[in-house]
Structure 1
Amino acid sequence: MVKIGCSSLFFWEYEFDEIVDIYNDIGLKYMEFVPENPAFWKKRNDLDYVLNVKKILSKLNITVHSPYIELNPSSNNENIREITLKETLWAIELSKLLNSKFVTIHAGKRPTKRVPTLEEYVNFYEYLKKCEEYALINDISLCLENSTKKVNHICYLVCEMEKTLENFKNLNLTLDFAHARGDSTDFVKVLYKYIKNVHISGVNGKDHYPISSSKIDFSKPLNDLLYKYKYNGVLNLELNDLIYKKTLSKFEKIEILVNEVSYIEKMLE
């Protein structure tokens, strides 16, 4: 049975009791929880609220995505690096609280649109070292997500991701198919043993379209990952509601999600 989940950010405008009800109603058992959902982010220091969210989310199997908006572990600005590390360590603690086994983090980037220098890599590896140690102490699997292919990004190449994973023995991979694009087959073939979490969506000019409207066919690498390499983790849908020309209603989002789940299940029959 294929395990399919969805990022909480697709329903960013709703409270978590409503989001969980939506997932339960359509039969989804998995969620990638992004704490930057506005309702949670504004109340995250309220312990009573967080414990109530924990109770609500206990109806699903949860993975956690560390905060990433406005953050950069490779920044030349030491204050940005410091807060990025702080937020990631907090996400590891949150994952433990929510009984999640995985935390996904983003790779670094050079702040300007130029090829990363040694300085950015040194900053990034120092960040990884500290996060890896803290995740190990808390019995959490830390998963590095492959980046989009941009000149200033770190870890969008298979070879670079492989080198990073080899250097950090307790680091795993969140494979984002839309980020990998045409390299997704190579990511699966070379790095399958590191893959503990998956983001799935389509590419239609930009990333995170419904996979049913993707211009790139991911069926072969997905099938290889599940059936050839025996991946038994979750396929988390990452859908961006900003690609639509209008504001989607709750029922329109539900319809899109139901269609995507059905499409993936047929793809993997």
Structure 2
Amino acid sequence: MVKIGCSSLFFWEYTIEEIVDIFLELGLKNMEFFPENPEFWKKRNDLDYINSIKSEISKIDITIHAPYIELNPSSTNENIRCVTLMETFWAMDLSKKFNAKLITIHAGKRPTNRIPTAEEYTNFDDYLEKSINYALKNEITLCLENSPKKINNICYSVESMKKTLDNFKSLYMTLDIAHARENSLEFIKNLHEKIKNMHISGVNSKDHYPLSESKINFDETLNLLVNNYNYNGALNFEFNDLIYEKTLSKHEKMDILANEINYLEKIIE
């Protein structure tokens, strides 16, 4: 049975304890934990804080998203590649501490707005090989998220993702349907055996709108995966609060999320 969850970043301004309480109150079964939540990021080297958070997070199932802001595993700058790998290893260590069995990473990209060259792909393959080995050593499922369609991004197409997954048999996939857009069905038809995690949101003027406000209908996509291919992983909402014209209160965010939970449940019932 699927576990409906949400990204911790939607409630980025609150403490981790508050976010856990919100999710439990709404009946969510999973949290996609982003360690780049501001409060956590500033205290991530404080062992007492980490232990206190561990007891809170143990109240809900979690998947973890490796740090990605300002990072790039395909960068031409070897220092950025090194830090990206270090942060990925750190996120996997955190997964072990928090008893999370699955972690999501981002694909690489060419730093400039041009088509990736062989150099970017070589850098990315090196990152994947080292990350997969570390994940296997720690018994963690490593999932690569499909990128938004941009000229300099790696793994935004079905073909590119399939090639990468074929080359790395121990690598799995986090499917972000808002990134996939009209190709979400093709991702599922071709790669459903590799999909272990999901990011759920709609597409309007930008990505990561509520699913109920999406200009692209993802009903068939979600039904196919859950009811035809028997997907039983997490369905994590991933919303961007910057799409709203005002700052949302906690209760407004909770109302949005509650509405989306009901909307999703009707789609996959």
**TM-score of the pair, normalised by structure 1:** 0.99
- Alignment gaps of 5+ in structure 2: none
Shift of 1:268: 1.4
Task: Describe the SS at the equivalent of 1:144.
Answer: strand
Q: Residue 136 of structure 2 corresponds to which residue in structure 1? A: 136
Q: Residue 38 of structure 1 corresponds to which residue in structure 2? A: 38
Deviations 1:20-54 (A, max 9, x none): 11111111121000000000000000111011111
Q: C-alpha distance in 2, partners of 1:96/1:260?
A: 30
Q: Residue 221 of structure 1 corresponds to which residue in structure 2? A: 221
Q: Residue 183 of structure 1 corresponds to which residue in structure 2? A: 183
Q: Residue 92 of structure 2 corresponds to which residue in structure 1? A: 92
Task: Describe the SS at the equivalent of 1:232.
Answer: coil
Q: 1:203–1:215: 8 Å Cα contact kept in structure 2?
A: yes
Q: Give the letter for the 1:180 counterpart.
A: A
User: Within 5 A, what are the aligned runs for 1:88-127?
Assistant: 88-127=88-127
Q: C-alpha distance in 2, partners of 1:105/1:145?
A: 6
Q: Residue 6 of structure 1 corresponds to which residue in structure 2? A: 6
Q: 1:2–1:265: 8 Å Cα contact kept in structure 2?
A: no
Displaced runs of 4+ in structure 1, greater than 4 A?
Answer: none
Shift of 1:205: 2.0
**Aligned Cα root-mean-square deviation (Å):** 0.6
Q: 2:2–2:231: 8 Å Cα contact kept in structure 1?
A: no
Q: 1:74–1:120: 8 Å Cα contact kept in structure 2?
A: yes
Q: Residue 252 of structure 2 corresponds to which residue in structure 1? A: 252
Deviations 1:136-177 (A, max 9, x none): 000000000000000000000101100100111110000000
User: Within 5 A, what are the aligned runs for 1:52-67?
Assistant: 52-67=52-67
Task: Describe the SS at the equivalent of 1:260.
Answer: helix
Q: C-alpha distance in 2, partners of 1:24/1:95?
A: 20
Q: 2:26–2:258: 8 Å Cα contact kept in structure 1?
A: yes
Task: Describe the SS at the equivalent of 1:154.
Answer: coil
Q: 2:202–2:211: 8 Å Cα contact kept in structure 1?
A: yes
Deviations 1:247-268 (A, max 9, x none): 0000000000000100101111
**TM-score of the pair, normalised by structure 2:** 0.99
Task: Describe the SS at the equivalent of 1:20.
Answer: helix
- Alignment gaps of 5+ in structure 1: none
State whether structure 2 residue 265 is matched by structure 1 residue 268: no
Q: C-alpha distance in 1, partners of 2:132/2:181?
A: 27
**Sequence identity of aligned pairs in percent?**
65
Task: Describe the SS at the equivalent of 1:149.
Answer: coil
Q: C-alpha distance in 2, partners of 1:99/1:206?
A: 34
Q: C-alpha distance in 1, partners of 2:248/2:189?
A: 37
